[in-house]
Amino acid sequence: ETGVTQSPTHLIKTRGQQVTLRCSSQSGHNTVSWYQQALGQGPQFIFQYYREEENGRGNFPPRFSGLQFPNYSSELNVNALELDDSALYLCASSRDYNSPLHFGNGTRLTVT
Amino acid sequence: AQSVTQLDSQVPVFEEAPVELRCNYSSSVSVYLFWYVQYPNQGLQLLLKYLSGSTLVKGINGFEAEFNKSQTSFHLRKPSVHISDTAEYFCAVSGAGTYKYIFGTGTRLKVLA
């Protein structure tokens, strides 16, 4: 079975721009969670999508938004990028909202 | 709400020596506990998890952890480490049944030859 895949692997954006990160969940998984990992820190929960609906959100501003598609893949959108948004963004999928997470390798976003 | 404290930011240890990476948590509800490993420029790989049942949990690569409810701890141990174990290790907690993880700040394990 294929694991969680994220694209792109690396991205450089300018402050104020908008970015879209993509995630394909593992086969058979209907739940996707997004995490932000700043350099030298542990991952922080951004939000979770279960069957195309947001199912919980961490302490992130509204300019962080997401979407889950009928095939359970997902996007993370960040508007009005700030320098502090530079981080590794991790996507994780699970069989349902009540199952352990399987992480992808992440997208490294650099905001200059 | 839950929180996790990893008491050591870095742990150097010689090859074939035992190691313990410490993790303490706080929560007002029942919890699930996890240990993940992260190699450079990679995502997180699950080492082991505690959901319920036996408090001694065995994981991959020879790692194990013990859930201690009275001390609110979930320390990770390995009896004999290898150079290839050099990585960042993260402890995580979630409320039982939620799977919205709260991660610690990580412990960098450096295995020395």
Residues of A in contact with B106 (CB under 8 A): 40-42
Cα separation, A33 vs A93, in Å, equals 6
pLDDT(A69) > 60: yes
Average pLDDT of chain A to the nearest whole number: 93
* From B45, B49, B101, residue closest to A45, measured CB to CB: B101
Tens digit of each residue's pLDDT (9 = 90 or more) over A13-50: 999 999 999 999 998 899 999 999 999 899 999 999 98
* Total length of chain B: 113
Tokens of A69: 């598609």
Count the Cβ atoms, other than its own, within 10 Å of residue A95. 15
Q: Is the CB of B43 less than 8 angstroms away from the CB of A45?
A: no
Q: Between vectors from CA A96 to CA A31 and to CA B57, what angle results, nearest 5°?
A: 115
Among A92-106, B11-25, B28-42, B83-97, top mean pLDDT goes to: B11-25
pLDDT at res. B94: 86
Residues of B in contact with A98 (CB under 8 A): 97, 99
pLDDT(A12) > 60: yes
pLDDT at res. A1: 57
Tens digit of each residue's pLDDT (9 = 90 or more) over B6-56: 999 999 999 999 999 999 999 888 888 999 999 987 889 999 999 888 899
Residues of B in contact with A35 (CB under 8 A): 101, 103
Per CB distance under 8 Å, which residues of A are interface residues toward B?
Answer: 4, 31, 33, 35, 40-45, 48, 56, 58, 90, 92, 94, 97-106, 108
Interface check B30 vs A, CB under 8 A:
no
